[in-house]
A and B are shown apart, each in its own frame.
Chain A
Amino acid sequence: TQLLEQSPQFLSIQEGENLTVYCNSSSVFSSLQWYRQEPGEGPVLLVTVVTGGEVKKLKRLTFQFGDARKDSSLHITAAQPGDTGLYLCAGAAILVTGGGNKLTFGTGTQLKVEL
């Protein structure tokens, strides 16, 4: 089983601060996805990174895929209360049968941004 470790597990910061969440594995993934989950809801996709070294930006969020496709980071600039949620990384391995993706999820980072 491929494992994805996220750090930190919990993060409580003030509005306006910057933060970085890390997602690490010893396994290589074909792509990596980041999801955000709010209380009472299922995770929602934020971004997919595919190429080693790739950087994608989504407003104040910057996602990077490691050169070796084993790790990723999420950086949030000037965090806002609306960023509060559980952030999950997920590494994709191509299904042996049937096509499509099988995702291995990270352990999650619970972010709280306070006023």
Chain B
Amino acid sequence: DVKVTQSSRYLVKRTGEKVFLECVQDMDHENMFWYRQDPGLGLRLIYFSYDVKMKEKGDIPEGYSVSREKKERFSLILESASTNQTSMYLCASSLKQGAGNSPLHFGNGTRLTVT
């Protein structure tokens, strides 16, 4: 089974802090994604990466950056955390397929609270 591991289940940070969310997958997937999940809004894509050192902005990249130095690891960075970034963050990975049918495999999420 594919395993996507997020380093923290819960995080509490202060406004202005730099925050790192780490994600590791063990199935040699090319694509990796960061989503945030908020009630009534579903999952919104922050950034994705389809190869090492490659990154693309998703729908809500403002206030975030990412790093993918190794294929299995995709990090989400909040340069200066703000209270409106309090959310559940989900990392996912998938195979690189052209048909658009490859499923996403998700981690269990990191619930971040910014005070």
The residues of A with any CB-CB pair to B shorter than 8 Å are 1, 4, 6, 9, 30-31, 33, 35, 40-45, 48, 50, 88, 90, 92-95, 97-108
Contacts and interface: CB of A to CB of B under 8 A. Distances in A.
Interface stretch (B34-42, B65-73, B75-83): B34-42
A95 B50 contact: yes
Nearest to B29: A100
B103 A45 contact: yes
Q: Which of A4, A35, A100 gathers most chain B CB within 10 Å?
A: A100
Nearest to B49: A98
A100 B41 contact: no
B99 A31 contact: yes
B28 interface: no
Interface string B40-76: 1111110010110010100100000000000000000
B42 A101 contact: no
Q: Which of A35, A43, A48, A50 gathers most chain B CB within 10 Å?
A: A43
Interface residues of B, number: 33
B87 interface: no
5 contacts: A30-B100, A93-B100, A97-B50, A104-B59, A106-B42
A37 to B, nearest CB: 8
A42 B99 contact: no
A106 B37 CA distance: 11
B95 to A, nearest CB: 7
B108 A107 contact: no
Contact of A101 (B41, B54, B101): B101
B96 interface: yes
A43 B106 contact: yes
Q: Which of B44, B100, B101 gathers most chain A CB within 10 Å?
A: B100
A40 B9 CA distance: 9
A39 B50 CA distance: 29
A42 B108 contact: yes
A98 B100 contact: no
B84 interface: no
Contacts of A104: 45, 59
Contact of A105 (B40, B42, B54, B56): B42
